[in-house]
Structure formats: structure tokens, C-alpha cells
Amino acid sequence: MKLDAKIPGGPIETKWDRHRFDMKLVNPANKRKFSVIVVGTGLAGASAAASMAELGYQVSAFCFQDSPRRAHSIAAQGGINAAKNYQNDGDSIWRLFYDTVKGGDYRAREANVYRLAQSSVQIIDQCVAQGVPFAREYGGLLANRSFGGAQVSRTFYARGQTGQQLLLGAYQALARQIGLGRVTMHPRTEMLDLVVIDGQARGIVVRDLVSGEIRSHAADVVVLATGGYSNIFYLSTNAKGCNVTAIWRAHRRGAGFANPCFTQIHPTCIPVAGEHQSKLTLMSESLRNDGRIWVPKKAGDSRPADQIPDAERDYYLERRYPAFGNLVPRDVASRAAKERCDSGFGVGPTKLGVFLDFRDAIKRLSEPVVADRYGNLFQMYEQITGENPYKVPMRIFPAPHYTMGGLWVDYNLMSTIPGLHVLGEANFSDHGANRLGASALMQGLADGYFVIPYTIGHYLASTPIPKVDTGHAEFKRVEAEANARNRSLLAIKGKRTVDSFHRELGRLMWDNVGMSRNRADLEKTLARVPELREEFWKNVAVEGSADDLNQSLEKAGRVADFFEFGELITRDALERAESCGGHFREEFQTEDGEARRDDENFCHSTVWEWQGPGKAPVQHREPLSFEYVKPSQRSYK
Amino acid sequence: MRLTLKVWRQAGRSARGGFQEVVAEGVSPDSSFLEMLDGVNEKLEAEGREPIAFDHDCREGICGSCSLMINGHPHGPDDGVTTCQLHMRRYRDGDTIVIEPWRARAFPVIKDLIVDRSAFDRIIQVGGFVSVNTGSAQDANNLPIGKEVADLAMDTAACIGCGACVAACPNASAMLFVSAKAAHLGRLPQGQPERHARTRRMVAQMDTEGFGGCTNHGECEAACPKEIKMWNISFLNRDFLQASLSERSASQRAGDG
Amino acid sequence: MSGLGGFYRSSIGKKIVVGATGILLVGFLFVHMLGNLQAFEGPGEHGEPAKLTQYGELLRTEMAVLWAMRLGLLGLLILHVVTTVRLVAENRAARPERYAMARSMKTTFAARTMIFGGVALFAYVVYHILHLTVGAAHRDLFREGDVYGNVVRSFSNPVIATVYVAAMIPVFFHLRHGIQSALRTLGVDHPEHLARIQTAGGALAALITLGFMAVPLGVLFNLIRL
């Protein structure tokens, strides 16, 4: 596997401009002769499919949900960053670039991040033109708020539903192209495998989730925008359907998987209530703008929050990080909460929780102002917990939320398989070891609206692509494999449900490959995952048939892939003997408990190459060089 | 808690369906309605029976996947929430709960509690957008939009496309859904150039899909998990009337030319 | 789909037709009701015909105008009824399979009984025309041209008076939902205006209903006599 990031030369400010000029173009009349498959219709997939169809390519788009509008991007609450500097507070493309590289703990590719910061400006323009109802000031101009990890107000938002509004904008652009006949949409269709012919990605094998039919789709180029893999932890803030299958299957067909151990644990989620729990609910991190996080100073203090006087409260983020206070980046905030709970200061029935208190904000701003800013979040919290956060402080605890790792891509967003492009959370490119708040939406849309429409043309114009259709023997072979896999899952007729296996895997991963990790636990996990996987393949109970709508079978296929992937993520965490961003190895920390990076040995992205079932994957490295933002100990003090 | 569920089971689109009685035991009051169903499904699977098929995904009330008519109420008895946000503390030990799919000609049942809501997508595909290609936008602040207008637009843009309005309406009308999109884009300056064409096309598609008409019962507004208001339907009606008049004069002008 | 045909084929177009004809019919009802109240002026003095009868003659001054108005009203009524029947059929067809359990949350009795109220109202109108316009319903009580006399003679019969009063109950519910519903269909979308319209619509419905009830009750309680 050769890793050529294809980063253009020259100063960072002009790399993308020059690259756009250097790239080959496809003649407008020829564009309709090229076919593109886009898998996933979240921010990245929908924006990519719509933009490429606008250019004239023949696009086929796929999603497992019943409508492209339901992809999980819709659940992003807080906002989207853009270096507009509308607030005149010193923001710039350069500062957004700097913050993102630093926030990612110096494990992202500088050139990609700079392009991301450049594109951020256009994204806001595009979305407003589509009718996205961003929050506005009384004068009619766009409003901004600040977000974790930044000292400027550059976050654009639409109440607590920014992801929804941006996704609906992209969905509507996609719907327009579907209506015009330029995109063929396949909802309730799940990608089960990638088809590679003569070294090029040439199509996918899918299952029609209604009829159960396995079928193939061929194209000149394949784009995966299938999101992240936080659901390996079973309990996460992801939607129930989010899964690793598409990128895992692509990995098995030869795509390098980069930095799988870079997972983000979000600090402000509603704590687990019991065994029945099927998912965790995020409370937007924007709550940290006005809410103050604290635990009692006395361990095991079980007085109600309002009876604990200020002097006996430990506002530990404000104490430890006076400069950023409650607005430290997510990884720092999550670890600090875990540290307090591990030391016995946790609150709530499980003692796995800290307070997020709006008492002072309500005093300072009045209840209606707080309600205007966070009303829907407060309502959601009350619905789930039965507690009123205007009166009682919220209880929060970190939960798996986002995965920075993903398929390795070059500057053109192409994986190690020619023709296979990967966008959004599914790739590894821009966030390094930790993602800043309000940057996921930015990256998804930058990739889809402003990067892939250019780079795909370059690939198509500069690569000979022979004609292939789904009658090709390789399609038939991959279809047969997918069929056989489903039949064997149904034939096991074991005793344990898919969910019980998923819960056990999730628990194992959360305890050992979660917020903090150590060699002994990782080694134990690396041995345990294959045992559990073996039991799964012997004892899982999947009812129903393969020729029908069968949600158990869908889940079983996804969990089976999580079992394979679990090994890779653990191996990667073990291999990376340093702490950086969301990856915290207990052996590598400073005296005051902060992550200690090892730039000498680990200033690279680790890229894994599949070697076949049961064989250890081969490790490759893409060295990272920092010419513009010099790595330093990240400090938010 | 112990609950008796009467659940609609239907093997496929054209199969005949019927109610099945299932007992849910050991239900935690802190679990959500869907988590209660997860538990029932795990039990069914352990007994070698096919689990109940139902649509769900984000489980935080925003994706619009979950549906369910629960004891005659779309998304259950609480205001402003989806089924996935409904919690079992709302029920009492020993309760009987009737669970049905959305019922409308335009939403055919696919299996058990899952219905086909693609009619909503087709309505958006004919006009529920602003025709602006990627890359052709001006600077976002060149178009000031008053806070009030932006807020009104946001109120309707909040629609999650779940179909509860159709499920609740005695006429299975999709007017609240269509009006939400018409009002979202129709109230914003970006939506003005295509406003009339958008309204005409979406209404025509809505009719083609076989939804009923609005008779101002107000059930949709009561059922909407995002509390979208019915006055948007009046907005759509007026817009449609204006659109029809402007279309006539436009075609007459075209005829003169 | 274009032009008038397209407008009428669309669901909203039909709703607008029903709403607009409904509002015009309400206007007719209001004027009719005001005209009726002239019965309280009594039988007429100094050998002059009763005010109500004079009013009847006034309307008949130009038969062409009268017939134009009658045909216009008939046209409105037919359009209103036929379009409603088509809408109801479409609405029923939109839910072929009913819920085993459906609970209403917000709808009113008036809204749910619109179609029944409409049918009752239609039956009443036919009877009313046969009774006081054509004179075919109760030939013994009817004398051509004696409007006031016909009214008083008929309503002195408690059965007929009760039928007339009872018929106004569905009229009230039909108008209470109908007036505000029609205005919403015609596009009144401001939340505050809407609330006012709902109140005003209810009040107008009540006014029209009471106005119509007043005459048969007046006869029955001897306030209006020959």
C-alpha cells in the first residue's frame, strides 16, 4: 500500500487555488457520460450527490433510511463554524485553521485543514442561499455564538437544530436533482460490499431492505459518505442505524483505515439510567457557554444541588483551566469529568455524572433569555429525565459521539483504492485526534459541496476507466458472498439476540478502549474480541428470512462487522503509545493529568491494511509535517 | 411494570394484517417507548418468533423515522414529542396499549408498523427547494432578513417529515406538511422567485399521492411533535389561490405574445 | 394542470370553491334573516299589506331580477354541495383502512358533523321552498302573495314551528365551523386574526340562527299574529 497524500506544493494559502487550476476538467458535454455512486445521504453525501448532479454527472445515491432526509447529520444541534469574522472579534481563515490543527492535537494534515477553513466561508453563503433559517440579529444579519475550543464567536446556528437545517438544505438540493432526473435515489438500500475490478472501485453490492434482494450497481467512481463508527460502543449519541459496514467492507477490499482509535467522547450527554438504555442523548455543547460545570467538594456529598453552597462546590473546569473555563475542548472536558467521578465526586444515582448548572445564567440573563437560547434542549432533558433544568442543575456525563478516524484519503479525498472517494466523518482527514465543536458539519459540507465536485472531475478526466457492467464476474462473486453471509447468519439459530452481543461488545470497548486506555486492558481486549466474535457466529439468534424486510438480519450484519472492526480499533490504540486528543493512554500523561504527546515517535497517521480474516493487519504510516502551526503542548489554562 | 400490547402485525404490503397480543414484563418506567418495544422484540426473538418491525433511528426526536399510533394518538399522548421521546413513566402497571401503523392511502404499510412515507419525498422533489446550484451564492450577510421572519421560517422548517399530521387528520391530509415547506421557503426572500410555481407543484403532487384535503379540524396541529401551527395551512391556501391567479395571467400573457 | 379546470381539480381549489360559495350563502342567509325579522312589524295597518308581504312584493317587482338571483343562489348551492360531495369522497378514499382506536384531540363537534349538518340543512331547504315559496308542502295553509299570512298560519301549527326551530340547530353548527373554516381556506393566516375570526364566526352563526328562530317562536308565543 502506497500512501501518497498528493498535497500540492507552494504556500498553504494558495495550495487549493493552484490545485484547482492544475486539475483536469471534464468537458460539460462529457460529464453526463460518467456515472457516480454516492453511499450515504447525510451532509457530505447529500451535498456531494446534489453538487455532482448539478455539474451533469449521472448520480445514483443510496441510504438505508426510508428517506435521505433522515441521515444522522440531522441530529447535530449546536452549530457550524465559519471564518466569516462577522463579529469583528479577530477571526480569520488563518485562526480557524490554527484552532482546528491545535484542537486536533497536531495529528491532522495541515493542507486539508487549511482548505477546510477556506471553504467554511462559502458554506454559509451556500446554505443561506438555499433558505437555511440561521439565527439572526434584529438588524437582519446573521448571529453567532462561541463554542468549545475557540475564543472567537464563529459558530452559526439555527436554534438547537443546526444539523437538521443544514441537512434539509442539502436534502432539498438533492431532491431537486432527483426531481430533474439527474439523481436516482435508492432509499431503504444498504451497501453490503464494494466491488473492485482491475484495481479500481467500480460499484457496490447492496441489499434492498424491503424485498431483501441482493443486487449490484456499477459506476465509474464510488463515493462513500457513510458516517462514523461510534456505535461500536453500543451506547453512543449516534442513531441506532449508524454502522461501520460500508467503510469496513471497503477496508477489506483494500482501502487503508487510518487512526481508528481517534474517537471522540462528548462531555455533555445525559447519563445512563439503566440496563434498558438503547442510546445516549447529547445535550449540545453550546450549553457550556452559559452553564457552569461543577461537583461537590466533598466526595459522596448527596445533598440536593441547591443546598450545596458555592463555597462547597468545585467548578473544576474553571479551576483547572482559567483561560477557557467551561469552554475547553471536548476531550479535555470529558476527561476532567471522568477524573472527578473516578475520584468519587460524581453526582446522581449512579455517581457517574457532574452538574451543569444554569442558576447563575438565569440570574444574569433572566429565564426567558435562557429559554430562548436553550429552550428545546431543556425540554428534551426534562422529557428524558423527568427533572426540570430551570430548577435543578442538569446531570451530564461523557458519551461516545464522533470518530475522527476513518478511511485514509489523499488531498483529493480518494482512498487507497483508485476511484473510491470518502467524505465526511467516514474519512480521517481533517480533525486529527480530536474534533472541535461545530466542525463536523463544516467538514461534511466542505467535502460535499466544495471539494469532491472538483477532485472527482480530475480523477475521471485523468484515469482510463474501461466499461464495466453488473454482469461482470466480480459483481456476481461479491453478490454471492453477500448472500452467503446473510444465509449463514440466519442458519445459526442460536440462543442470544444480536442486541445482547452488541451490548457486550460495547461494554468491553467502552471499559477498555473508551475515554482512557492502558496497555494491559488493550491487550486483554485484543484477545477478548475474537472470542466474543466466535461466540457470535455460533450462538446468535436471527429470526425471519433473507427475502423480506428483516431488521434483525440488518443489525446482525452490522454487528458482525463491528466485531471485526473492534480488533482494529483496539490494536491501533495499543500501537499508539502516546496520549493525544481523544486518545488518552494512562501511561502517557503529564504530572497534572493532561495528555502527553510524543511527537518524536507518533507524529504520523497510522494506516492499516487488511490482510485477510484472522491475520494481523499491516501498519503503514503517513508522516505529518507541521510547517505553519508548530506543535506545542496544548494548553487551555 | 407489566403491560399488555395489542400490536398490528402485517407480513407485507399486500398481506392481510391483524392485531397480536403481546405482554411486556419488567418494563422500567425510565425506559423510552421504543426501548420497551426493544425488550419485547428481544423476548420474541428468544422464543424464536419474528420481532415487531418498526421504523426508528436517531431516538432523540429529530430524524422523523419513528411513527406509531399509540392508543389512538400519533406519537403517544404527550404534546410536542415523538414516540422515541415518550417515556414509560407516562403509563401505569397493568395498562393495555394499542399500537397501530400510520394509516393513509398515501402511506401503505410495508410490514407490521412500518409504512412507506416516500410520498413526502416526492412532494419535496417537485418544488420544496430553492433552485440554487452550489457555488453561485452571494455573501450571506448581503441579504438581511428580519429576526421575526427568520424565526417564523424556522418554526416551520423544524418539520421532521414524520407524517403524524397525516396520521392524525380525519381526512389523511398532508396539508400541514406541505404548508410547512411552503411557509418556510415562502416567507424567506430566497424563496420568492419560485414561490408560486413551488406551491402549485407541491399541491398537485400532494393530490396525486392520494392525500385528503384539509377541513380545519386541527388534529394535525395537536399531533405535530414539532408543534407546527395550522395557520400555515391558511398561508398555503392563500398562496395557492394567488399562484393559480398568477398562473392564469401568465399563461394569458404568453398567449398574447 | 392549468387554468380553471386545474384549479378545480386540485384539493385546495375545491376547498376554496366550497369556502367562497359558503361565505356567499352565509351573506344570503344574513339578508334573508333580516328580511324575516320584518314579520315583527305586524300584519299592517289601514288596510295596507303587512311589511313582510310588502317586502315580498318588492322582491317580485322585476321577475327577471328575482329569477336571476334565484338561479344565482341555486348555482352557488349546487356548486357548494357538489364540490363538497367530491371532497368528502376524496377524503374518505384517503384513508381506506380505519384505525382500531382513534381519539380526537382538538377537533370540535361542529367540525366532525359538517357533512351531516349540511345534509340536514339541504333537506330543510327543499322543504322550506316547497312550503313557503312554491306552497306545495301545506296547500291548506298557503295563499299566493300573502307572505305574512302564510308565515303566521304555518307557525301557529306547533309541529311546523318546531321543525323550523329544530332545523336551525344543524344550521348553527354548520355555520360555526363553516364561517371560520371558509375564511382560513381563503387564506387568513395571521394567528391573532384567526382567533378573532373564530370568535366572530361563532357570533355570526349564533346571530343568524337566533334571527331565524325568532319568527316561528314569535308566532308560537303570540308576539306575531294575524
User: Chains contacting C with at least 3 CB pairs below 8 Å?
Assistant: B
Name which of A65, A165, A278 is nearest B59 (Cβ-Cβ).
Answer: A278
Same domain, B106 and B164: no
Same domain, B78 and B130: no
For residue A124, list chain B residues with Cβ-Cβ distance below 8 A.
Answer: 140
Same domain, B83 and B145: no
Supply the range of the domain harboring residue B198: 118-256
8 Å CB contact of B130 and A122: no
Please tell me whether the interface predicted TM-score (ipTM) of this complex is above 0.90.
yes
The residue from B82, B111, B140 where one domain ends is B111
* Burial state string for A228-241 with b = 16 or more CB within 10 A and e = fewer than 16: bbbbbbbbbbbbbb
B170–C contact, CB cutoff 8 A: yes
Q: What does the angle CA A193 – CA A412 – CA B139 come to, to the nearest 5 degrees?
A: 115
Q: Are A433 and A583 in contact (CB under 8 A)?
A: yes
User: What ranges make up the beta strands (E) of A517-563?
Assistant: 540-541
- End-to-end alpha-carbon separation of chain B, Å? 74
Which is more confidently placed, A191 or B247? A191
Same domain, B101 and B126: no
Same domain, B133 and B247: yes
Which tens digits make up the pLDDT trace of A440-462?
999 999 999 999 999 999 999 99
Q: Is A326 helix (H, G, I), strand (E, B) or coil?
A: helix
Q: How many domains would you assign to chain B? A: 2
- End-to-end alpha-carbon separation of chain C, Å? 59
Same domain, B225 and B251: yes
Distance in angstroms (rounded) separating the CA atoms of residues A467 and A463: 13
- Closest residue in chain B to residue A64, using alpha carbons only: B57
Query: What domains lie within chain A, and their CATH numbers?
Result: 268-400 (3.90.700.10), 480-610 (1.20.58.100)
Q: Please give the full DSSP string across C143-207, using - where no structure is assigned.
A: -TT-HHHHHHHHHHSHHHHHHHHHHHHHHHHHHHHHHHHHHHHTT---HHHHHHHHHHHHHHHHH
Which tens digits make up the pLDDT trace of B81-106?
999 999 999 999 999 999 999 999 99
B51–C contact, CB cutoff 8 A: no
Q: How confident is the model at residue C192 (pLDDT cuts 50, 70, 90)?
A: confident
8 Å CB contact of C105 and B219: yes
State residue A190 phi and psi, 5-degree precision: -110, 130
* Burial state string for A192-223 with b = 16 or more CB within 10 A and e = fewer than 16: bbbbbbeebbbbbbbbebbebebbbbbbbbbb
Residue C182 CB coordination number (10 Å): 25
Q: What pLDDT is stored for residue C226 in this prediction?
A: 83
Same domain, B205 and B227: yes
Which tens digits make up the pLDDT trace of C133-174?
999 999 999 998 899 999 999 999 999 999 999 999 999 999
Size of interface B-C (CB pairs under 8 A): 152
Distance of CA A270 to the CA centre of its chain: 19
Q: What are the CA-CA distances from residue A575 to residues A554, A571, A604, A607 (Å)?
A: 32, 6, 12, 11
Name which of B64, B120, B124 is nearest A172 (Cβ-Cβ).
Answer: B124
Give me the half-sphere count of Cα atoms (radius 13 Å) on the Cβ side of residue A167: 28
Grid cell locating C51? 311589511
pLDDT of residue B252 exceeding 70:
no
Same domain, B212 and B169: yes
8 Å CB contact of B218 and C107: yes
- For the question of residue A330 being annotated catalytic, the response is yes
Distance in angstroms (rounded) separating the CA atoms of residues A335 and C88: 62
Grid cell locating A444? 461534511
Q: What is the residue extent of each domain of chain C?
A: 13-91+112-220
Distance of CA A15 to the CA centre of its chain: 26
Q: What pLDDT is stored for residue C197 in this prediction?
A: 87
Q: What pLDDT is stored for residue C2 in this prediction?
A: 57
pLDDT of residue B254 exceeding 80:
no
Q: Pairing state of beta strands B3-9 and A394-403?
A: unpaired
Q: What pLDDT is stored for residue A331 in this prediction?
A: 87
To probe the interface with A, which of B67, B107, B121 has the most A CB atoms within 10 Å? B121
Q: What are the CA-CA distances from residue A502 to residues A532, A535, A548, B83, C176 (Å)?
A: 10, 12, 23, 23, 58
Find where cell 474517537 sits: A263
Same domain, B197 and B136: yes
Distance in angstroms (rounded) separating the CA atoms of residues A595 and A383: 36
User: Chains contacting A with at least 3 CB pairs below 8 Å?
Assistant: B
Same domain, B169 and B244: yes
The domain that holds B12 is classified in CATH as 3.10.20.30
* Least trusted range by pLDDT, from A410-414, B199-203, C194-198, C214-218: C194-198
- End-to-end alpha-carbon separation of chain A, Å? 42
Same domain, B180 and B56: no
- Closest residue in chain B to residue A75, using alpha carbons only: B62
Name which of B98, B104, B219 is nearest C101 (Cβ-Cβ).
Answer: B98
For residue B117, list chain A residues with Cβ-Cβ distance below 8 A.
Answer: 66-67
Distance in angstroms (rounded) separating the CA atoms of residues A258 and A272: 30
Q: How confident is the model at residue B257 (pLDDT cuts 50, 70, 90)?
A: very low
Same domain, B12 and B93: yes
Q: What pLDDT is stored for residue C174 in this prediction?
A: 95
Sheet holding A35-39, edge to edge: A183-186, A58-62, A35-39, A221-224, A420-422
Those residues of chain A that have pLDDT short of 70 are: 149
The residue from B79, B111, B143 where one domain ends is B111
Greatest distance between any 2 Cα atoms in chain B: 75
The residue from B62, B86, B111 where one domain ends is B111
User: What ranges make up the beta strands (E) of A125-209?
Assistant: 155-156, 183-186, 189-197, 200-208
Q: Is A265 helix (H, G, I), strand (E, B) or coil?
A: strand
